[in-house]
Structure 1
C-alpha cells in the first residue's frame, strides 16, 4: 500500500483520535504527539493489519494503549478547583508551574454537530473528572461511553476479558456519578453562546465592569491555571478584574475550545503592540457565564490559530 493511500484512509480519524487522547491525557500537546505516533505506528504496521476489525477500531487500539503507556509515569492533571475551595478575594496570585495542569483543546473548524458532541465530552469539568479515574477504567469508559465501541471490542483493544472490562466500566461510572456534570447541563444554544462571547469580548476590551457584571451568573467560577487561587461568585470575579485585569489596555479575539466559545486575550507591550497572554474558555447557560477558565500560557495561541501579537 502506498503512503498516500494509507493517509487517505487514516486521516479522517485524526480529529476524533485527538479528542480521545485529550480526554485520556488532559493535554492537547501530549494528545497531538500521541496521535502523530499512532499514525506512524499504524503506517509502519499496516502491511500486517489482518482486517479482523475496522481501521477505526485498530487506530483506537493503538492510540489508547499508547496513552496507557504515558499514564504509567504521568501525574494526574488538574484544574485549580480540584486543589481547594474558591475564594472571594486574594491579594497574591502565585503561579505554580510544578502542578500538571489540565489544558484546553482547540476545536475551531468543527461543524455544529461535532461541536455539540465535543462540548458534551470535552468540557473542562468533565475532562478533569476523567483524570481522577484509574487509567484502565478511564480507557474503558472512553472507548464505550464516548467512542461508542461495544464492550467486547473495548476489552479486546485493552487485552482484557469482557467481564473485566465490564467491571472496570461499572467502577468508572460509579466514581463519576456524584461529581461529573451531566450531559443535560451542557448548554446547546450556539446562538446564545455566540452573543455571550461577543459581549464578553466588548466588556473585556472596554474594561467595562458593569458590562461584565451583567454577563456573570451569581455563582460563576473563575480559574486561572497555573495560578492555584480561584474565585467563586460574581462579586469575587468583578473585584479581581478591577484590581488585576482592567488596570491596563487589553485586546481579545474569538476562538473555540473544548467545543465552547473561547477568547484569546492580549496585553499591551512596551512598544504599544499587544502580545499573547491567555486563552479564556467560557461556559454559558441562558445568556449568563457560569464558568471562565483563563489559561495563562501564550504558547497555546498557534494551536488556536491566533496570532502571537497584534499591532498598535
Structure 2
C-alpha cells in the first residue's frame, strides 16, 4: 500500500510522466491520446493505491496500469490501418505501394523524448534509446492486435521478462510467448526492409544535415523549375507522402513533384504563397516546420510539420502533420520576420 497524501502521490507520479506518455504513445500512435491516457493512469493509480503491495517497483506498477488503460481505450476505439482507394489519381498498377490510411497517427517532439531520458544510465533511457520511436515503427505496430502490441512493447522495447508481462496482462507465459512470436512476424512484414538503414540516431550525420538544408532551401524558392530539379536529386524515386488524418498521399517522385509544384509556382492559379522552413526533430527524425505567407498577407503562419525518413541518402518518406502540433514542439504560430532567431539547420541553438 502507498501511504502517501495527494501531494506526495502527485510528485511521485510526475517523476514518471514522460516515460509513461511515451509508452502510451507507442500503444496508441497518438500524441493527444497519450497525454489523456497518462492522466487516466494517474487517476487509476490514485484510486488503487491501497492495492499496491510492494512486490514490484512503483514504476512497474504504473506501467501495468498504463498498459491496461491503453488496452481499455483500444477496446472502445477500434483502430486498424485501412486500405486506401486508388481513385485519388494513382494508377491501379501502384496499388501494392499505396500507404495505409492511419488517420490517428501523430508526431512526438524530441524535446519531450529528451526529458524522458536525460541521462543514458537511467533505467528509462531504454524507453527512447532504441529504434522503436520512429514513425516507421509506430506505423508497423498499428497492424498488431492490441494485446500483441502490448506484449511486443513490454518484451522487446522495455525488456520485461515473459513472466512479468503475463502478470501485467493477466495471462500465462506460454500465451505471452506465442503472442510475441506472432507480433514479431507481423512486424517484419510492415517495417522497412533494411532495418539498419532506417534506424534513427540521436545526432544527424553531416550528410543528413546538408540534405535537410537543401530541402528547406528548395521549399523556399519561387522557381518551379528549380524546385523540381532539386527535388529530383533529394527525393527517392519511390518516395511516399502522407498527411494523416487527411486523405492526401503520393507515391513516387514524379507524383510528389507534380502534386506540389502548382501550389509553389507563383504563375499557377493554385499558388498558395511563400514558404519559410524551420528545422526541428520528431520521433528521432529530421523534421521541417513550414510556415506559409499567403498572397496579401505580411506574416508567415504555421502550416505543416514534415517528418522525413531517409534511405540511401535520399528522402524516402514524408509524413506531414497539421499545424496544431507546433505548440507541442515549442514553435511559434507566426514568423513575423520570416525566421526563428537562434536556430541552425540542425534545429539546435547557435
Return the offset for 1:303. Answer: 1.0
Preserved CA contact (<8 Å) 2:280 2:288: yes
Q: CA 1:175–1:29 in structure 2 vs 1: closer, same or farther (change >3 Å)?
A: same
Structure 1 Cα separation of the partners of residues 62 and 175 of structure 2: 22
Deviations 1:183-226 (A, max 9, x none): 42324461233332222222212245133332112222222233
Could you say what secondary structure the match of 1:290 adopts? strand
Residue 283 of structure 1 is matched in structure 2 by: 309
Structure 1 Cα separation of the partners of residues 84 and 126 of structure 2: 29
- For structure 1, which segment, 270-279 or 37-46, has the greater mean C-alpha deviation from structure 2 after superposition? 37-46
Q: Is 1:221 equivalent to 2:240 in the alignment?
A: yes
Q: Is 1:185 equivalent to 2:185 in the alignment?
A: no
Structure 1 Cα separation of the partners of residues 103 and 278 of structure 2: 27
Q: Is 1:83 equivalent to 2:84 in the alignment?
A: yes
Deviations 1:1-47 (A, max 9, x none): 35555455444432222222111111100001111221333344435
Structure 2 Cα separation of the partners of residues 196 and 161 of structure 1: 49
- 5+ residue gaps in structure 2? 92-100, 266-270, 338-350
Could you say what secondary structure the match of 1:250 adopts? strand
Residue 62 of structure 1 is matched in structure 2 by: 65
**Higher Cα radius of gyration:** 2
Return the offset for 1:71. Answer: 0.4
TM-score by length of structure 2 reads 0.76
Preserved CA contact (<8 Å) 2:103 2:246: no
Preserved CA contact (<8 Å) 1:87 1:236: no
Preserved CA contact (<8 Å) 2:148 2:180: yes
Preserved CA contact (<8 Å) 2:24 2:66: yes
Preserved CA contact (<8 Å) 1:76 1:100: no
- For structure 1, which segment, 203-212 or 16-25, has the greater mean C-alpha deviation from structure 2 after superposition? 203-212
Preserved CA contact (<8 Å) 1:151 1:166: yes
Return the offset for 1:284. Answer: 1.5
RMSD over aligned Cα, in angstroms?
2.9
Preserved CA contact (<8 Å) 1:87 1:232: no
Preserved CA contact (<8 Å) 1:222 1:292: yes
Structure 1 Cα separation of the partners of residues 245 and 305 of structure 2: 12
- Aligned partner of 2:284 among 253, 259, 264: 259
Structure 2 Cα separation of the partners of residues 260 and 67 of structure 1: 25
Return the offset for 1:78. Answer: 4.2
Structure 2 Cα separation of the partners of residues 172 and 115 of structure 1: 20
Residue 139 of structure 1 is matched in structure 2 by: 150
Residue 93 of structure 1 is matched in structure 2 by: none
Structure 2 Cα separation of the partners of residues 116 and 218 of structure 1: 34
List aligned pairs for 1:114-153, cutoff 5 A. 117=128, 120-153=131-164
Could you say what secondary structure the match of 1:267 adopts? strand
Deviations 1:275-308 (A, max 9, x none): 211110011234321111111x221111111111
Structure 2 Cα separation of the partners of residues 310 and 268 of structure 1: 9
Residue 232 of structure 1 is matched in structure 2 by: 251
Could you say what secondary structure the match of 1:50 adopts? coil
- For structure 1, which segment, 203-212 or 156-165, has the greater mean C-alpha deviation from structure 2 after superposition? 203-212
Return the offset for 1:167. Answer: 1.5
Could you say what secondary structure the match of 1:294 adopts? strand
